[in-house]
Structures are given as structure tokens and as C-alpha cells.
Chains A and B, each alone.
Chain A
Amino acid sequence: MTFVELKSVSLTYRLGKETTLALADGTMAIGKGEFVAVVGPSGCGKSTIMKLVTGLLPATSGEVVVAGQRVTRPIKGVGMAFQNPTLMPWRTTIDNVLLPMEIVEPHKRRFRRHRAEYVARAMALLKTVGLADFADKFPWQLSGGMQQRSNLCRALIHEPELLMLDEPFGALDAFTREELWGVMQALWLEKRFTGVLVTHDLREAVYLADTVYVMSRRPGRIVMSRHIDLPRPRTLASTFEPAFVDIVHELRDRIHQEHAA
């Protein structure tokens, strides 16, 4: 069943008199519970796709459909995580994670009276990412990797049907990044939300995604869609197996074509 559908969507940014075509003819269909990754050369409009799907930007032409509904304004209750963890420095980790509960219905109405229940839920989630002991710490007392874990928890606490990730591991060191791939995969295997990951790391894309979309240079166009049928759960060791490496090379070749063009 298709959950997110882009039908020949384009987007033109207008800045003064200049117009920039950021995305041309974007067409993709993401099934419910599918995890897709969008890769491409830098500046190809990957992040534009995020904004279009969530309705933060209206499409210039074409149609975006999420859960059977045409997207015309920001859709509610989506989980989002960016490269910048955007945690609130005046809130402790657990209060940061609980933020969506204060905004998303029906939790918003219940939050005050059932606070203990929600705290327990947030604690459970923090525990799965290994942050149980840091719940009462402030974000600025955490390392970059820990901040990004909290960020993922905040994006997932309200069990969104759709999770949008915009290079969430981009600013982390290689070891932490690879560790968080595992955390992300475990969360997805457990909750089976629909995930869209924008990244420029091809190993990351292949490790996490069911389908990888390759975008062309600006104006971004989807030039390739590659189904990843490697068994799950994938491990770091499996990223060095020939089957995995072959896919990465295949994707890389396609992107190099774009750079050469």
C-alpha cells in the first residue's frame, strides 16, 4: 500500500526576480512501513523533497499525496530529525523527548494528567537508544552522538506514521554514525514507521533503506531507484560483504555520471 506518493512534482524557488528550479519531475511511491533513502550530489534538492512531503513547502506543480490525502499545508504529527539536533537547551533530555506529547493530539489533552505514563514511555525509548542514565541531563551536557539519539527519540516518541530524516548522522564521527545506523534500524524494525532518509552517505543509505532513490544534479530529478533486498537486520560486518559493496558501487557510478555530465 502506498503511503507517500509524489506525482511529477516540481518546485521553483523564487528569490526576487531570479527563479531556481530545485526539483523537476519528482515521482516516487513509498509504501507504508517502507524505509527509503534519497541520495544525490550536493545541492540537488534532496532536502526539498523533505519539505514537499511534509507540506512545509507547497509544490509548484504536480501533486504530493500522504495517507491518501493531498498535501496542501504542513501535515501534522510527522517526526523530523535534522543534522542539527535542535534540542532545547533549557529542557532536560527527557523533557525534550516529551515535547511532541505537548503538541500532538490526543496526547496534548492527556499530557498533564497522565504525565507519569508519558515519562515512563519516554524513559523506555531512551533506554532502547542507551540514554536511560542521561534523562535528567541537559542537551549541552551530552556528546554530539547522544544529542542525536535524543533527537531521534523526540522524533519517534509520538509514534508517527512518517519519519523524515535529513542527514541526521551527517555531523557525527564515523564510529558514532555507524553505531547510530544500528540504533535507527532497531527502532525501525520494532515500530515499522514509514521512513524517508536524505543522505549523501551511500553506505548509510544501503544499510538502512529498502529502496534508494538517486537524484540528478540540479534541477533534481530522480534518475534511479534501486531496491535493496539484503536481509535484515543488517550488521556493520554485512556492509563489507560483496553483495552490499556491489550495490554501493552501482549507486556511486550513477552519481559519478551526474557529476561528469
Chain B
Amino acid sequence: MITGRTREIVQLAMPWLAMALFLAIWEVVCVVFDLPEILLPRPSRVFEVFIQRIDILLAYCWDTLWTTVLGFLLAIAGGVMLGVLIGASPLVYAGLYPLLIAFNAVPKVAIVPILMIWIGVGPTPAVVTAFVISFFPIVVNVATGLATIEPEMIDVLYSLGASRFEILRKVGIPRAMPYLFASLKVAITLAFIGSVIAETVGGNRGIGFLMLSAGARNDAPTTFAGLFAIAIMGVAMYAVCALLEKRMTRWAFRGQLVS
């Protein structure tokens, strides 16, 4: 029988075990099939390069990180505002929703060249792409949170004499919070995709640019080191968002608290 404490430790260790297993299999496959490094470098080789080129990796990570986070923060600000408008007003909803869907259907890679024509090469296209790509899930989630308030709750507030604005402030916004924080986890990973795409298509800095130029030199280990760096940043930011979610909307996790 596994006791509660052991179970907890095993649960905490599981992600690390899974990752170690994944890397081990990768390593073994590379060795057994004698794969050329340019095709698939061994993870140990990637780590070696990772350490060797840590300076440039860190510098470019920083570029990618701040453009991503800036775009993400802008997406939160804009997404919450638009989400509240759409969720609170059926008219705005009817008007803007199809437009949003159309907007979201456009592949974001396609807009990077346009952005470069408008604002040139540099960190701005990365920020804008991160914003554009992470905006949509935030809008949709906030709007959903607002639109799914129980009708009885609205009746109670109306018959107390509350205005629409009061209903929005007292019920709508707090109720939309768990939806918002749930969307942040999705949005931050998308934001990384956005900024890396922009760096790859037309950047002169950042991990995307590093990977592209390493790829051009057939330097597969560096490309993979870049991939690892993005993955690490993505997981870290996801964890930050998940932690924020737990902190800010404790009540939405009631199941875990009561039991």
C-alpha cells in the first residue's frame, strides 16, 4: 500500500522521471541507430552545446522572454477589455464575434511580413505577434465567464435595484476571473509561439533567430539547444500563470479545498 506521503513524493517526481525517461530513450535511439548529428543530435550533445554557448543563449532568451511577456501583458489588458465588452453586451457580441473568428483564423506567420513592412525588423514585430496570437483565447474566455452568469443571480440583483454596471462589477468581473486565469495558461504558451515565429521570419535577435541561423549553418545541436530553451521558458511561464490562478481564484478550486 502506498501511503499518502509517499504518494505525494512520487507524484512530484513523476514529471522529472518522465522527462528523464524521454531523454534517455532519445539518447539510446541516437546511439543504437548511429544517427548523424545533423539529423538528430543526442541530448547529451545538446546539453554540452547548451553549456558552451550559455552566454548567447541567455542573451537571446532574454530577448525572446521580454518580447513575449510584453505582448502577453498587452494581450491581457486588451483581451480583458474587449472580453468584458463582448460578454456584457449582446450587441457588441453579435457585431464583433464573427470578426474575431476571422481574425483568429488568419495564420499569424502570414502577418509577420506585413508587420515588418510597417514597423521594420527588431523586437516590435515579436511583441505584436505575441500579442495578436495570445489575445483571442483571453477575449473568448472572459466573454464566456460573463455570458454564463446564472439568470437567477441577475434577477436577484435586478430586483434589489442594481444597475447593469453594478451587476457587471459585483458578479460579472469576479465570475470571469477563473475563466481569465485559465486562459492565461493557454495564452502564454501561444505568446511564445508568436514571438519565436516573428524572430524566425524576420528578426535579428532572440531564440527564433538563433535557431534559424544555426540551422543555416547545419549546426543542429545549437538549434536543439534553442528548442530546449524555449521549452524551459514556456514551462516556467506556464507555472507562473498556474500559480497566479490558484492564488487569485481560490474559490474556483473548491473541490480540492473542501476534501
By a beta-carbon cutoff of 8 Å, the part of chain A in contact with chain B is 51, 54-56, 74-80, 82, 84, 86, 88-90, 99-100, 102-105, 138, 140-141, 154-155, 158, 164
Chain A residues closer than 8 Å to B171, beta-carbon distance: 88
B147 to chain A, nearest CB (A): 17
Q: Is the CB of A90 within 8 A of B159?
A: no
A75 touches B254 (CB 8 A): no
Complex contacts, A104 vs chain B, CB 8 Å: 160-161
Best-buried of B158, B171, B174, B177 by chain A (most CB within 10 Å) = B158
B160 touches A100 (CB 8 A): yes
Please, how many angstroms separate the alpha-carbon atoms of A54 and B153 in the complex?
14
Q: How far is the CA of A86 from the CA of B166 in the complex (A)?
A: 17
New A-B contacts (7) at CB < 8 Å, excluding given A86-B156, A155-B156: A56-B158, A75-B159, A77-B161, A80-B159, A80-B160, A86-B150, A89-B251
Say yes or no: A78-B160 contact (C-beta < 8 A), given A88-B171, A88-B174, A99-B170. yes
When distances are taken between beta carbons in the complex, the residues of chain B under 8 Å from A78 are: 159-160
Chain B residues positioned under 8 Å from A74 (CB to CB): 158-159, 161
Residue of A nearest to B171 (CB): A88
B160 near A103 with CB under 8 A, answer yes
Measured CB to CB, the closest approach of chain B to A32, in angstroms, equals 18
Please tell me if the beta carbons of B174 and A90 are within 8 angstroms of each other in the complex: yes
* Residues B159 and A54 in contact, CB atoms below 8 Å apart: yes
B252 at the interface (CB under 8 A from A): yes
- B12 / chain A contacts, CB cutoff of 8 Å: none
> Are B252 and A89 neighbours in the complex by a CB distance under 8 Å?
yes
What are 16 sample pairs from A and B whose C-beta atoms fall under 8 A apart? A77-B159, A78-B159, A80-B156, A82-B152, A82-B156, A84-B152, A86-B152, A86-B153, A86-B156, A90-B174, A90-B177, A90-B251, A100-B160, A103-B160, A103-B161, A104-B161
Separation of A79 and B160 alpha carbons in the complex (Å)? 7
User: Which residues of B sit under 8 angstroms from A55, Cβ to Cβ?
Assistant: 159
Query: Which A residues lie within 8 Å of B170 (CB)?
Result: 88, 99, 102-103
Check B251 against A56 for contact (C-beta < 8 Å).
Answer: no
**For B160, B175, B251, which residue has the most chain A Cβ atoms within 10 angstroms?**
B160
Chain B interface (Cβ < 8 Å from any Cβ of A): 150, 152-153, 155-162, 166, 170-171, 174-175, 177, 249, 251-252, 254, 257-258
Q: Which residue in chain B gives the minimum CB-CB distance to A51?
A: B155
Question: When the two chains form the complex, which single residue of A76, A80, A89, A103 contacts B155, counting CB atoms closer than 8 Å?
Answer: A80
Query: Chain B contacts of A79 at CB under 8 A?
Result: 159
Closest chain B residue, CB of each to CB of A138: B251
In the complex, the answer to whether B157 meets A56 with C-beta atoms within 8 Å is no
Alpha-carbon distance between A99 and B171 when the two chains are bound, in angstroms = 11
Nearest residue, chain B, Cβ from A85? B152
Q: How far is the CB of B19 from chain A (nearest CB, A)?
A: 36
Closest Cβ of chain B: how far from A142's Cβ, in Å?
A: 10
Measured in the bound complex, the distance between the Cα atoms of B159 and A154 in whole Å is 13
Given A76-B161, A104-B160, A140-B174 contact (CB < 8 Å): no
Complex Cα gap A54–B161 (Å): 11
Cβ contacts under 8 Å, B252 to chain A: 89
Contacts of A155 in B (CB 8 A): 156
Chain A nearest CB, measured from B124 CB (Å): 38
Q: How far is the CA of A164 from the CA of B159 in the complex (A)?
A: 10
Q: Return A95 CB to nearest CB of chain B, in Å.
A: 11
* Candidates B156, B160, B254; contact of A89 at CB < 8 Å: B254
What residues on B are CB-neighbors of A100 within 8 Å?
Answer: 160
Decide: B152 and A103 in contact? CB cutoff 8 A: no
Q: A82-B152, A84-B152, A90-B174 are in contact. Are A103 and B251 (CB under 8 A)?
A: no
Q: Which residue of B lies closest to A154 (CB)?
A: B156
> What is the CA–CA distance of A86 and B155 in the complex, to the nearest angstrom?
10
Min distance, Cβ A77 to any Cβ of chain B, angstroms? 6
B49 to chain A, nearest CB (A): 49
User: Can you name the residue of chain A whose Cβ is closest to the Cβ of B177?
Assistant: A90
**Whole-angstrom CA separation of A88 from B175 in the bound complex:** 9
With the chains together, A82 CA to B152 CA distance in Å?
Answer: 7
Alpha-carbon distance between A99 and B153 when the two chains are bound, in angstroms: 12
Identify the 9 closest CB pairs spanning chains A and B, nearest first.
A76-B161, A140-B254, A78-B159, A82-B152, A89-B251, A86-B153, A103-B160, A54-B159, A90-B251
A110 to B169, CA, bound (A): 19
